[in-house]
Structure 1
Amino acid sequence: MFSKKKLIASLATSVALTGIGFVATSQVDSLIGTSEVKASYAWVNSYIEANNITPVGIQYRQGTFNRWIPYENGVGRPEGIVVHETATPGATAENEVAYFNNNWKKLYTYVHAFVDANSIINIHSSDYGVWGAGPTANAKYVQVELCEVGTTDQFARSISNDAYYIASKLLQYGLPMEPGKTVVSHKQTGTMWHETNHTDPDGYFSKWGYDMNQFNELIGKYYNNLKATGSVNGAATKPSTDAGSDNNNKVEASNPYKGIVDVTDPEGDYVQLLSFRADGSAFVPTRGLADKTPWATDQQKQYKGHTYYRVSTNEWVSDYYAKFTASK
């Protein structure tokens, strides 16, 4: 069921795999030459717009990959996103998550997220690097895998989800949308650094009459709309017109961290919380959360390699126990 793509043979040495002591020596140059992508009127992008397809929320859960590798610029400082595809027809994001969680120690490969037509599953903190596209790219980029689907509608929905994940990550880290630099395909990383020979996602895209230029167009659209309004379709909350309101000229953007966390502790009756002091250190408060209960959240923070979701003023639950679903 799973293809040879999982074997990243060019990750040759233990030093390269761990990222310890690695220093990049080459400069990234744009393969497109400009951050402006001209409209191509690609059928997939048009189909997404005509059918009002909107991406699903990102699910954050911690996978089994236990290597916390800083990027070459430091923790929480990626330079962009690598676009992959799985080369496993019919395998869902859940299938791929289970496979990689069970086999990364043998395969020497792992990515941050998997996307299909119905879900976006982030399984490793994007503040840290993974093993997906060779040592140089691993030290620079967040990496996401697109699952192969079987119908036109599924392809369009998976592309929409993938574009949303990428645009969201660019905005999360304050990165511009620059095709060939902050957004690169696995094929492009191989052309730049010659550390892998993979050509995804180009071959898979071509089966659907699609290409990276058209995909960059969609990412750029989502990126600009999210940045301006907090919505991929550019529909911001309308400002109030009440006389005397202080908000008459303000447009409220949606909060990407607002949503619900469903908490579960398979080994106990309650879920442990953490609270944080002003100096950044943490302590365990006197309260916990009842097992298998949903909680509203509006903030996230990173602590010791885990994402924590705020469920009260200064009480946070770890992604080890929590499954996050963003508000629509």
Structure 2
Amino acid sequence: MVSKKLITSLATSATLASVGFATVGQVVPQLGSQVQTTQAATSAINDYINNNNIKPVSIQYRAGTFNKMFGYENGVGKPEGVVIHETATPGATAENEVSYFSWSWPTTQTYVHAFVDDKEIINIHSADYGVWGAGQTANSKYIQVELCRVNTTDQFARSVANQAYYAAFRLVQYGLPFTPGKTVLSHNDVSRMYKETNHTDPVGYFAQWGYSMDQFYDLVGKYYNQLKDSNTNNGGNANTNNGNQASNIGILRVKDGSKEYISLYSLNNDTMSRITNRALGTGTDWQMDQTKVVNGTKYYRVATNEWVPESSVGQIIKPLA
């Protein structure tokens, strides 16, 4: 995994922490006959996706471990597009990569927003903030997503459908136009534009499957247009398990204190149990999507079945809607 993991960050760090939520309600694109005809002439992979009615999977949001959060050059929540990567690690799934990055990023100085394979889209960092994936300039501009290497044509088709959907979803979420090479671009494009990295992905990996960025753009464009036409796009890093909009998301700041970390709790059968292998950094800001009172104590949900007790909350920066 070394070839993709040694990218100098050169990013300004802040004192916030990342957040994720459970699986978001998915907008499933429907493939129109006109799109099928166009793509069948340009890409066997896109044709395969159409003919087999392959649909992107839901986006999963998880709390990542990257705590060097920083706004984009235009501000928090103002990315300029999406950079497409691939992991260069044959056989590693999205779950594998998430696990690896969770502990390795302080050493490798690399982190991205999401990993995609043929079965999952796993978002591990708030897209409102930058990451360390493609050099200083790109890090301050773009959301970044890694495609995992797979073994069969069917797996590849499903994985690029998932990655194209993720890119389109983010563009629509942040009100960005779909402009190939500008708002959606490869790591290879970034390397050529800013000359801060020498990576060429995913061009070589795509070529192994007879695929290209232009054909990938066709797929992104299809999902982008369908999402733009839909009124059911959840958007954002928000999710409440019931399709509510991002306005239902609040922000809390956990207390500063003598301890470096604040304990998290999981809810099982109306009982809160302390989580022993995860915690929040003191003084950090976290998104929340719901509250619950258990045995007289109020808890705030900050990730999938991860809750913070009211006694650990120092400030409610943005109340729940």
TM-score by length of 2: 0.70
Distance 1:156 1:18, change over 3 A: same
Q: How many residues are treated as equivalent by the alignment? A: 251
The aligned counterpart of 2:267 is 291
| Contact map agreement 1:109 1:131 (CA 8 A) in 2 | yes
Partner SS for 1:260: coil
Distance 1:275 1:147 in 2: 30
| Contact map agreement 1:85 1:145 (CA 8 A) in 2 | yes
The aligned counterpart of 1:35 is none
Matched, 1:317 2:318: no
Report the Cα offset of residue 260 of structure 1: 2.8
Distance 1:84 1:254, change over 3 A: closer
Letter aligned with residue 286 of structure 2: H
| Contact map agreement 1:275 1:282 (CA 8 A) in 2 | no
The aligned counterpart of 2:241 is 260
The aligned counterpart of 2:6 is 7
Distance 1:219 1:173 in 2: 15
Distance 2:147 2:180 in 1: 18
Provide structure 2 residue ranges, at least 5 long, that are not aligned to the other structure. Answer: 15-37, 243-247, 255-264, 271-283, 293-298, 308-321
Distance 1:167 1:254, change over 3 A: closer
Distance 1:255 1:81, change over 3 A: closer
Deviations 1:118-174 (A, max 9, x none): 000000101000000000000000000000000111001101110111111111111
Deviations 1:187-239 (A, max 9, x none): 00010010000000000000000010000110000000011025xxxxxxxxx
Distance 2:154 2:285 in 1: 36
Report the Cα offset of residue 259 of structure 1: 6.1
Distance 1:144 1:84 in 2: 6
Provide structure 1 residue ranges, at least 5 long, that are not aligned to the other structure. Answer: 21-37, 231-252, 262-273, 284-288, 295-303, 324-328
| Contact map agreement 2:135 2:197 (CA 8 A) in 1 | yes
Matched, 1:17 2:18: no
| Contact map agreement 1:275 1:316 (CA 8 A) in 2 | no
The aligned counterpart of 1:30 is none
Distance 1:191 1:309, change over 3 A: same
| Contact map agreement 1:306 1:319 (CA 8 A) in 2 | no
| Contact map agreement 1:113 1:124 (CA 8 A) in 2 | yes
The aligned counterpart of 2:286 is 306
Q: Pick 1 or 2: higher relative contact order, CA cutoff 8 A, min separation 6.
A: 2
The 5 A counterparts of 1:198-213 are 198-213=199-214
The aligned counterpart of 1:193 is 194
Partner SS for 1:165: helix
Distance 2:167 2:152 in 1: 22
Distance 1:100 1:293, change over 3 A: farther
Partner SS for 2:289: strand
| Contact map agreement 2:240 2:289 (CA 8 A) in 1 | no
Partner SS for 1:49: helix
Percent of aligned positions that are identical:
54
Distance 1:203 1:218, change over 3 A: same
Distance 1:181 1:208 in 2: 24
| Contact map agreement 1:84 1:201 (CA 8 A) in 2 | yes
Cα RMSD (Å) of the superposition?
A: 3.2
Distance 1:153 1:221 in 2: 19
Report the Cα offset of residue 258 of structure 1: 6.3
The aligned counterpart of 1:233 is none
Deviations 1:220-268 (A, max 9, x none): 00000011025xxxxxxxxxxxxxxxxxxxxxx454666638xxxxxxx
Which contiguous aligned blocks of 4+ residues in structure 1 show a shift greater than 3 angstroms?
253-259, 280-283, 304-307, 320-323
